[in-house]
Amino acid sequence: MRSVDIYFVLICAVCVVFSHTIPGLNSLQRQILSKKRSRSRQKGRSDDLTQDIFLNLPAREIDFINLHLKNLTDANGSKCDKCKYKIRYAKSLVEEYPEQEHLVTLLLFKDCVNNAYYADSCYYENFFITTKSQNFEAFNDDYDAGITSGTSVNFFDNDFLHLLKNFNVSSDLDLEYYCYFKDHRACSLPKTPDIEQLFDIQSWWPEKKPEHYHQPVYKNNSERFNVIHVTDFHIQPRYELGAESNCTEVPCALPESYNKKLPGKDYNFTTYYKNLDPTIETFNFSFYPDARYTENDTYIKGDYYDFPKYRGYNFNNAPATSFGAYLSDAPELLMNNSLIEIAKLQAEKKFELVLFTGDMVDHDGVHCTPNITKDAEVTAFKLVKKYLNNIPIMPALGNHDSFPYAQVAPNKFDRNNSYDYNIEDMVNLWINNEWFEGKDANDLKKHYTGFSYVTNRGLKIIALNSNAYYGDNLWAYIDQTTDGDLFGNWKFLVDELLESEEKGQRVWIMAHIPPNNYDVLPIQSRIFGTIIERFAPYTVANMFFGHTHRDQFSILYSSNTTAADAVAEDVLSMSWVAQSVTPYTKFNPSFKWYEVENESFNIINAYNYYTQLNITFNNGGEEPKWEVEYSARDLYDPEHTWPEDAPLNGTFWHNYVAKPMWNTSDIAFNQKFMDYKYRLSPLTPNCTTDKGKLNNVCFNDNNCFLNFYSDSNINCQKS
């Protein structure tokens, strides 16, 4: 046996007897098990799950891989030069040796594992289409019982291979974008080219008429109604009560979670709870393994399991409790609870629409499979249907809501309909839930689950699949500088906006990923903004996104003005980025609702509803208590100087939030914004440096995000 295995045997042998005397026993066990497949690259070695495949290849194929792997390794130049060389070299090999193209992807995979900061990213971010590794619980009589690995690898067909075949390696710009986003910033972010010169975007639509520079004249705008916006559930099916919730590698509260820093013999996990809530005087732990909701929505707490009695107070740094943890995704119990709260609120607010901006699958990418992806989506949408039965649901898919992760292939490249299974499943589910009619199926599939929907009040809602402009979608790197609309998303959006403009119809646009986020491809971000500039404010009334898990907004300013230099007269439009239900990472669960004008479909006020998650750690297993966190008008305009009948548009957010935020000496205001962004979480970052200045964490997260364009956001960031 190897020494690690012997050590594990010894621990297992004594764990029952000494469960109260070995501090951090659970974390210690998990760390030993994790040695079998280290998630982080160690200098000079890495755990390559393809090694057995490699060693069983014919000698010629082994030599082919070793020779060309050495050529990659020996390449000279900067990191950027090496990254660009790797893609060019790999494409030349595919073209020169088409019968060995599978070996090219295998050698690139080995190069990735050898050099990636996180080796796991090679498995589920680049080579995942037919490359999967999954840990399985296997508790049996074998000394090796615990976490075992099942691996299935096939390099004959994967996304990376198709990317190589179609990559424009003659474009330095395309290569630099790839190397910045997909190779850990090997290249600096290139300057965004003039998209008008690249694509003649103004030819996509007729010239903007003078009357379209202003909102329409309204005749019946006094009536108001409510709309709810919920996003990012991220159900964690492998959430385990008592597992380490303050772990080293997130998400936590998984069976294999551990903290590298073991607690001492005198450690008591109540210290963690006390740090999050210093007012605690007595402890009433929420360790209820059978907590659930019945078919009629009654909460059953079940029996208490006494972890301290059986494992002591130092078996984990922070044992996970029933309703979730700050470094984990949402257990199904928390999702049920949040939807029940929305249903209760519905009785009072009479929501006419639910905007759901995506992400149902958790962040446990290593264990993700097509079935896990589908199960999470089906579970989420069935629960939404159950609790919000009669409210029209406007759904969008997020980057986690596809397998492989974040991948959507353009219709003209999608070989063998490899992504249709997920899109078809979701379309069928949405139609069965009566959110769409059967006649909508083909359009939903054509637009990758995007849609155009007109409400009973005449508002048009356009939803987009944001993976089309997402930096983790390998397919989005094809022809970046020669085809501005590879997926057809922009033609779909422009056609719908032109139709509405002709009618004087107001439009809301929704998607998962906001176009200004750091992981959005800049050329696509610029195209998005140019479309909005053309159709706002006459047609585009509002935009809604999720993805960041934060309570945020961004403002589109005219003439490419950055947020730092803008004045109120530059404001063109703004977007709402809603906060998540999942607490991952360090947030309190929350959702948002809007008070909306009847004819303009402008938003008059916005309200946040949240629960203080840390209270559920020590409340005897009782349900979370939800409450209003704030009204946007009351929080940011407490003197009510903004007219009562004026909407919370980009000008409001510029004057009352963005402008004071750019006064970086006013750290208190920046801290206030950060506090509410995290929903008053006890783990909200502190915005003040040791020298009493605004720190970079808050500047980057608050100020830079105000920019509507991803390149402006990225270039704004301080190290």
Give the per-residue pLDDT at 305: 98
Model confidence at 80: pLDDT above 90: yes
Ordered alpha helix ranges (H), 452-521? 489-503
Mean pLDDT of the chain: 89
**Residue 334 shares a structural domain with residue 457:** yes
103 within a domain of the structure (yes/no): yes
Residue 129, domain member (yes or no): yes
- Higher model confidence: residue 613 or residue 74? 613
Comparing 516-520, 562-566, 600-604, which segment has the lowest mean pLDDT? 562-566
Domain that holds residue 386: 198-234+330-716
pLDDT above 70 (res 658):
yes
β 460-463/507-510 pair status: parallel
Residues 53 and 117 in one domain: yes
The larger pLDDT score, comparing residue 689 to residue 264, is at 689
Q: Contact, 396 vs 510, CB < 8 A?
A: yes
Read off the pLDDT of residues 519-537 as tens digits, 9 standing for 90 and up: 999 999 999 999 999 999 9
**Same-domain pairing of 163 and 207:** no
Helix (H) or strand (E) holding 24, with range, is none
- Torsion region of 232: left, alpha or beta (phi above 0 gives left; psi -120 to 50 gives alpha): left
- Among residues 115, 146, 181, the one where a domain terminates is 181
* Nearest-angstrom CA–CA distance, 699 and 667: 10
Please, are residues 571 and 601 in contact by the beta-carbon 8 Å criterion? Answer: no
Alpha carbon of 473 to those of 186, 465, 467, 544: distances in Å? 18, 12, 6, 21
Both tokens of residue 88? 């060019």
CB 333 within 8 A of CB 292: yes
Structure tokens at 379: 């579970």
For residue 719, the one-letter residue type is S
Nearest C-alpha neighbor of 576 from the set 548, 537, 531, 545: 545
481-513 pLDDT, tens digit per residue, is: 999 999 999 999 999 999 999 999 999 999 999
Which tokens hold the place of 564?
């730092």
Whether residues 93 and 208 share a domain: the answer is no
Do 228 and 94 share a structural domain?
no
Residue-wise pLDDT tens digits, 339-368: 999 999 999 999 999 999 999 999 998 888
Is the domain of 174 the same as that of 221? no
Say if 425 falls within a structural domain: yes
The CA distances from residue 230 to 64, 452, 629, 630, in Å, are 51, 19, 15, 16
Q: Is the pLDDT of residue 110 over 50?
A: yes
What are the C-alpha distances in Å from 267 to residues 22, 242, 315? 11, 16, 9
DSSP bridge pairs for 138: 146
Residues 488 and 558 in one domain: yes
Strand runs labelled E in 334-486: 353-356, 393-395, 451-454, 460-463
Helix (H) or strand (E) holding 627: strand 626-631
513 and 588 both lie in a single domain: yes
**Could you give the number of structural domains in the chain?**
2
Is 472 in the same domain as 556?
A: yes
pTM of the model: 0.91
pLDDT in tens, 118-169: 666 777 666 643 333 333 333 333 323 333 333 344 566 677 888 899 999 9
Q: Where do the H-state alpha helices sit in 513-642?
A: 522-535, 632-636
pLDDT at 659 over 70: yes
Determine the average pLDDT of the residues in 615-628. 97
Q: Is 608 helix (H, G, I), strand (E, B) or coil?
A: strand
* Residue finishing a domain among 146, 181, 216: 181
Decide if 578 contacts 544 (C-beta within 8 A).
Answer: yes
Cβ burial, residue 686 (10 Å; 0-12/13-18/19+): exposed
For residue 414, name the pLDDT band (cuts at 50, 70, 90): low
The answer to whether position 17 is within a domain reads: no
CA 114 from chain center: how many Å? 27
Cβ-in-10-Å burial (0-12, 13-18, 19+) of 303 comes to exposed
More confident residue, 42 or 294: 294
Say if residue 56 is in the same domain as residue 91. Answer: yes
Tell me how far apart the alpha carbons of residues 659 and 381 are, in angstroms, rounded to a whole number.
39
Residue 53 has pLDDT above 80, yes or no: no
- Residue 509 class from Cβ within 10 Å (0-12 exposed, 13-18 middle, 19+ buried)? buried
Establish if 286 belongs to a structural domain. no
Q: Residue 21 pLDDT > 70, yes or no?
A: no
CATH code of the domain covering residue 213: 3.60.21.10
218: number of Cβ within 10 Å: 14
3-state secondary structure of 594: strand
- Residues linked to residue 543 through DSSP beta bridges, in sequence order: 509
Q: Report the C-alpha gap between 401 and 360 in whole angstroms.
A: 6
Mean pLDDT, residues 386-407: 92
Q: H-type helices in 631-709, by residue range?
A: 632-636, 650-653, 659-661, 667-677, 696-698
Integer-rounded Cα Rg, in Å, for the chain is: 26
Query: Mean pLDDT over residues 170-191, rounded?
Result: 96
Helix (H, G, I), strand (E, B) or coil at 573: strand
Phi, psi of 611 (to 5 degrees): -135, 145
**What one-character DSSP code corresponds to residue 300?**
E
Are 57 and 118 found together in one domain? yes
Task: Kindly state whether residue 37 falls inside one of the protein's structural domains.
Answer: no
Is residue 355 within 8 A of residue 435, CB to CB? The reply is no
Domain boundary among 141, 156, 181: 181
Report yes or no on 140 lying in a domain. yes
**42: helix, strand or coil:** strand
Residue 259: inside a domain: no
509 beta partners? 462, 543
How confident is the model over 55-79, as a mean pLDDT?
91
- Gap between the Cα atoms of 24 and 28, Å rounded: 6
Mean pLDDT to the nearest integer, 401-422:
78
Residue with token string 């760390």:
31
C-alpha 211: how far from chain center: 38
Q: Are strands 299-300 and 292-293 parallel, antiparallel or unpaired?
A: antiparallel
Is residue 482 domain-shared with residue 532, that is, in the same domain? yes
Indicate the Cα dihedral angle 698, 704, 707, 713, nearest 10°: -140
The model's pLDDT over 634-646, given as tens digits with 9 standing for 90+, comes to: 999 999 999 999 9
Question: What is the 3-class SS of 541-568, one letter each residue?
Answer: EEEEECCCCCCEEEEEEHHHCCCCCCCH
